[in-house]
């Protein structure tokens, strides 16, 4: 069994940003990276979310660029279900009307 690593200041900032994403909205990994103070660290955000297990964090609200839903730790069906329960319509791997539901984009109220 692998020992859990202590959270870094970046991972704490990532989780704080993700907790602020309101129901019915989504943010990209890049949006979260920028809002957490590390523009361009979208992959690092994905790594933080893959490892994190903090209750109450709406991990499913973080999606790939252009509204692609992604794999959700090997459970993409669960992510689709959680997003649908919050009112998102999915067509294949993408959120319909992604731009209107995107939180945290430049100039958006997610700042």
CATH label of the domain that carries residue 84? 1.10.10.10
pLDDT of 101 over the 50 cut: yes
Q: What is the pLDDT of residues 16-42, one digit of tens each?
A: 999 999 999 999 999 999 999 999 999
- Domain presence at residue 32: yes
What phi and psi, each to the nearest 5 degrees, are found at residue 27?
-135, 150
CA dihedral 13, 38, 58, 20 (to 10 degrees): 70
Q: Which 8-state DSSP code applies to residue 57?
A: -
pLDDT of 86 over the 70 cut: yes
pLDDT of 75 over the 80 cut: yes
Across the chain, mean pLDDT equals 89
Token pair in block for residue 49: 């979310």
> Domains in the chain: how many in total?
1
Question: Structural domain of residue 48, as residue ranges?
Answer: 9-101
- Domain presence at residue 90: yes
Mean pLDDT on 50-67: 92
Contact 88, 24 (CB under 8 A): yes
CA 34 vs CA 7, 77, 95, 98: distances in Å: 19, 28, 21, 19
Query: What is this structure's pTM?
Result: 0.88
Token pair in block for residue 60: 């499913």
What distance, in Å, lies between the first and last C-alpha atoms of the chain? 39
- Domain presence at residue 19: yes
- Domain presence at residue 67: yes
- Domain presence at residue 109: no
Q: What is the reported pLDDT for 110?
A: 45
| Rounded percentage of the chain residues whose pLDDT exceeds 90 | 73
Contact 69, 80 (CB under 8 A): yes
Q: What is the reported pLDDT for 76?
A: 84
- Domain presence at residue 95: yes
């Amino acid at each position: 069994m692998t020992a859990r690593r202590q959270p870094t200041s970046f991972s704490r900032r990532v989780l704080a940003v993700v907790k602020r994403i309101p129901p019915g909205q989504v943010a990209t990994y890049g949006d979260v990276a920028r809002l957490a103070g590390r523009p361009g660290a979208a992959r690092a955000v994905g790594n933080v979310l893959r490892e994190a297990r903090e209750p109450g964090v709406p991990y499913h609200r973080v999606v790939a660029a252009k509204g692609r839903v992604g794999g959700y730790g090997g459970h993409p069906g669960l992510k689709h279900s959680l997003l649908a329960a919050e009112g998102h319509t999915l067509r294949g791997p993408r959120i319909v009307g992604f731009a209107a539901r995107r939180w945290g984009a430049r100039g958006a109220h997610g700042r």
